[in-house]
Amino acid sequence: MAELKIAPISRLEPGHNVPARNEACPLDLGWVREVRVNLSAAERRAATLPGRRTVKKDAQAAWLLKAVTCIDLTTLSGDDTAGRVRRLCAKARSPIRRDVLEALGMTDRRITTGAICVYHRFVRTAVEALEGSDVPVAAVSTGFPAGLVPHDVKLKEIEASVRDGAKEIDIVITREHVLTGNWQALYDEMRNFRTACGDAHVKAILATGDLKTLRNVARASLVCMMAGADFIKTSTGKESVNATLLVTLIMLRMIRAYHTRTGFMVGYKPAGGISAAKDVLNYQIMIKEELGRDWLEPDYFRVGASSLLADIERQLEHHVTGRYSAFNRHPVG
Amino acid sequence: MSVARYFDEMSYGPAPEADTEARAWLKRHDATFGHFIEGKFAPPSGGTHLDTIEPATGVNLARIAAGNAADVDAALAAARKAQGPWAKMGGPARARHLYALARAVQRHGRLFAVLESIDVGKPVRETRDLDIPLVARHFYHHAGWAQLQEREFADHVPAGVVGQIIPWNFPLLMLAWKLAPALALGNTVVLKPAEFTSLTALLFAEIATQVGLPAGVLNIVTGDGATGAALVEHPDVDKIAFTGSTEVGRLIREKTAGTGKALTLELGGKSPFIVFDDADLDGAVEGVVDGIWLNQGQVCCAGSRLLLQEGIAEDFLNRLKRRMSRLRVGHPLDKAIDMGAIVAPVQLQRIQSLVQTGLAEGASIYQPDLALPKEGCFFPPTLLSDVQPTATVMQEEIFGPVIVAMTFRTPDEAVALANNTRYGLAASIWSETIGLALDIAPKLQAGVVWVNATNLFDAAVGFGGYRESGFGREGGKEGAYEYLKPKAWANRKPRKVAEQPQLQIAPGGFDTPVLDRTAKLFIGGKQVRPDGNYSRAIVSPSGKLVGEVGEGNRKDIRNAVAAARAAEAWSRATSHNRAQILYYIAENLSARAREFAARISAMTGASSARAKAEVEATIDRLFSYGAWADKFEGRVHAPPLRGVALAMNEPIGVVGVVCPDEAPLLSFISLVAPLIAVGNRVVVVPSELHPLCATDFYQVLETSDAPAGVINIVTGAREDLAKVLADHDDVDALWVFGSKSASALAEKRSIGNLKRTLVDHGLETDWNDPAAAEGPILLRHAVQVKNIWIPYGE
CA atoms within 13 A on the CB side of A122: 26
Contact B280 A43 (CB under 8 A): no
Residues in Cβ contact with B115 at an 8 Å cutoff, skipping those fewer than 6 apart: B22, B25, B199, B200, B203
Which residues span the domain enclosing A298? 29-325
3-state secondary structure (DSSP) of residue B400:
coil
**C-alpha–C-alpha distance, residues B375 and B372, integer Å:** 9
**C-alpha–C-alpha distance, residues A168 and A146, integer Å:** 19
Helix-helix angle B281-292:A39-52, to 10 degrees? 50
Residues of chain B positioned with their CB less than 8 A from the CB of A66:
7, 10
Contact A65 B338 (CB under 8 A): no
438-467 of B, contacting A, C-beta below 8 A: 452-453
pTM for this predicted structure: 0.96
**C-alpha–C-alpha distance, residues A137 and A124, integer Å:** 9
Instruction: Kindly state whether residue A22 falls inside one of the protein's structural domains.
Output: no
Contact B6 A63 (CB under 8 A): yes
* Dihedral sign for Cα atoms in the order B312, B318, B322, B325: positive
A128 neighbors A116 (Cβ within 8 angstroms) = no
3-state secondary structure (DSSP) of residue B298:
coil
B373 — phi, psi (to 5°)?
-55, 145
**What's residue A12's pLDDT?**
45
B687 neighbors B661 (Cβ within 8 angstroms) = yes
Each residue's pLDDT tens digit in chain A (333 positions)? 456 666 655 444 444 454 579 999 999 999 999 999 999 999 999 999 999 999 999 999 999 999 999 999 999 999 999 999 999 999 999 999 999 999 999 999 999 999 999 999 999 999 999 999 999 999 999 999 999 999 999 999 999 999 999 999 999 999 999 999 999 999 999 999 999 999 999 999 999 999 999 999 999 999 999 999 999 999 999 999 999 999 999 999 999 999 999 999 999 999 999 999 999 999 999 999 999 999 999 999 999 998 999 999 999 999 999 999 999 999 998
**What's residue A10's pLDDT?**
47
Instruction: Kindly state whether residue A5 falls inside one of the protein's structural domains.
Output: no
End-to-end CA distance of chain A: 37
Burial letters B363-388, b for 16+ CB under 10 A, else e: beebbbebeebeebbbbbbbbbbebe
B650: contact with A, CB 8 A cutoff = no
| Cα-based distances in Å from B350 to B55, B169, B400 | 15, 15, 9
Instruction: Kindly state whether residue A1 falls inside one of the protein's structural domains.
Output: no
Rounded average pLDDT per 10-residue block, chain B, 794 residues: 96 97 98 98 97 96 98 98 98 98 98 98 98 98 98 98 98 98 98 98 98 98 98 98 97 98 97 98 98 98 98 98 98 98 97 98 97 94 96 97 98 98 98 97 98 98 97 97 97 87 87 89 97 96 94 98 98 97 98 97 96 98 98 96 97 98 98 98 97 97 97 98 98 97 98 98 97 98 98 93
**What's residue A8's pLDDT?**
58
Residues in Cβ contact with A150 at an 8 Å cutoff, skipping those fewer than 6 apart: none
Q: How many CB pairs under 8 A join A and B?
A: 105
Residues of chain B positioned with their CB less than 8 A from the CB of A253:
282
Contact B453 A40 (CB under 8 A): yes
Pick from B584, B721, B614: nearest CA to B657: B721
Domains, chain B, with CATH or none: 20-267 (3.40.605.10), 271-455 (3.40.309.10), 517-631+651-783 (3.40.605.10)
Contact B338 A52 (CB under 8 A): yes
Q: How large is the ipTM?
A: 0.96
Chain A closest CA to B452's CA: distance in Å?
A: 7
Chain A closest CA to B455's CA: distance in Å?
A: 12
**C-alpha–C-alpha distance, residues B35 and B42, integer Å:** 5
Instruction: Kindly state whether residue A97 falls inside one of the protein's structural domains.
Output: yes
Residues of chain B positioned with their CB less than 8 A from the CB of A36:
278-281, 432
Query: Which helix (H) or strand (E) element contains residue B225?
Result: helix B225-233
B191 neighbors B219 (Cβ within 8 angstroms) = yes
97-126 of B, contacting A, C-beta below 8 A: 125
Contact A36 B642 (CB under 8 A): no
Contact A44 B2 (CB under 8 A): no
Instruction: Kindly state whether residue A209 falls inside one of the protein's structural domains.
Output: yes
Instruction: Kindly state whether residue A63 falls inside one of the protein's structural domains.
Output: yes
Q: How many CB atoms are located within 10 Å of the residue A223 CB?
A: 29
Which of B266, B548, B650, B688 is the catalytic position? B266
Q: What is the CATH number of the domain that holds A54?
A: 3.20.20.70
**What's residue B481's pLDDT?**
98
**C-alpha–C-alpha distance, residues A122 and A130, integer Å:** 12
B642: contact with A, CB 8 A cutoff = yes
**By CB neighbour count within 10 A (0-12 exposed, 13-18 middle, 19+ buried), where does B398 fall?**
buried
Nearest residue, CB atoms, B6 vs list A36, A58, A289:
A58
**What's residue B292's pLDDT?**
98
SS3 of chain A: CCCCCCCCCCCCCCCCCCCCCCCCCCCCHHHHHCCCCCHHHHHHHHHHHHHHCCCCHHHHHHHHHHHHHCEEEECCCCCCCHHHHHHHHHHHHCCCCHHHHHHHCCHHHCCCCCEEEEEHHHHHHHHHHCCCCCCCEEEECCCCCCCCCCHHHHHHHHHHHHHCCCCEEEEECCHHHHHCCCHHHHHHHHHHHHHHHCCCEEEEECCHHHHCCHHHHHHHHHHHHHCCCCEEECCCCCCCCCCCHHHHHHHHHHHHHHHHHHCCCCEEECECCCCCHHHHHHHHHHHHHHCCHHHHCCCCECEEECCHHHHHHHHHHHHHHCCCCCHHHCCCC
Instruction: Kindly state whether residue A23 falls inside one of the protein's structural domains.
Output: no
Contact A42 B280 (CB under 8 A): yes
Nearest residue, CB atoms, B280 vs list A36, A55, A296:
A36
**What's residue A6's pLDDT?**
66
A163: contact with B, CB 8 A cutoff = no
Instruction: Kindly state whether residue A55 falls inside one of the protein's structural domains.
Output: yes
A205 neighbors A171 (Cβ within 8 angstroms) = yes
**For chain A, what is the domain count?**
1
What DSSP state is assigned to residue B442? G
